[in-house]
Amino acid sequence: MKNSRERIEQQNKNVNAKFSCIDCGKCCTNIDNLALFEWEKDKLLSLNPNIKISPGHKIKYKGTDIILYWGLNSVRTEFSKYSCQFLQIQRLDSGYLSKCTIYPDRPMVCRSFPLFHSGLNFQDEVISLNCPLSVIPFHENEKITKKQFLSRLKNAYGEIFYDAVVLDLTRTWVKELAEYVISYLDENNIGISENEIGLFELAINQGVITKKEMEEEIQNIKKMAKETVENL
């Protein structure tokens, strides 16, 4: 297998190359504490109540940890120390067959891989080189505009790029909601009895947002992402 540098040089020969997943499963055997939004955590637990999920990124409010993201713990298998709990690998005479057992419900970070983010907010460290087929649609040291940068990613990654835009917009929403909830608690001098609590659980408990409004905003973000991608 070519190393990352060799693959970059090979891809640089054709900036119009398109990414195509071959279901090798490498992205699912090199993870630890895969980042989940709160509703994704709830969905995965509804699919399998026995999976291990831990609090991820938190912010402190007085004596309470408010959890913004959760982490899907990895498991040790014969293939990797850091395999996804939902990855199924079947040994065949010709090799191995990898299968995601929750593919229709896979988290946003899985949908957008091998993109870490869309490049909308900044253009560094966008593409993961841990994927053996990552497409690098740029020449090394090439000077292009931000719109050209995004258009290249869109052309190379298609639906995955759209998912990365959804991911970025959702991250921004979570950050803004967290800031608003903290401000709301401060202004109303509200204390929290829990040692730790999920951001959306807290926001719903305090009447800042309803579950229906949360679900509607998730759909609105997807529409915004679609418009953003179409306008590139």
Residue whose token pair is 């759909």: 219
Instruction: Indicate if the pLDDT at residue 8 is higher than 80.
Output: no
Q: What is the pLDDT of residue 49?
A: 95
pLDDT value, residue 7: 52
The domains of the chain are located at 4-230
Higher pLDDT pick, 159 / 93:
159
What percent of the chain lies above the pLDDT cut of 90? 70
Mean pLDDT of 128-154: 90
pLDDT the model gives residue 75: 87
Average pLDDT of every residue of the chain: 90
Residues 203/209, Cβ–Cβ less than 8 Å? yes
**Which helix (H) or strand (E) segment is 1 a member of?**
none
pLDDT tens digits, one per residue of 57-88: 999 999 999 999 999 998 888 777 788 999 98
Looking at beta carbons, which pairs linking 197-200 to residues 24 or more positions away fall under 8 Å?
A: 197/64, 197/65, 197/66, 197/67, 198/38, 198/41, 198/66, 198/67, 198/70, 199/38, 199/66, 199/67, 199/68, 199/174, 200/38, 200/39
Dihedral in degrees, nearest 10, Cα atoms 152, 4, 104, 91: 150
DSSP 198: E
pLDDT at 205: 96
For residue 6, is pLDDT > 60? no
pLDDT of residue 12: 46
200-230: pLDDT as tens digits: 999 999 999 999 999 999 999 999 999 999 9
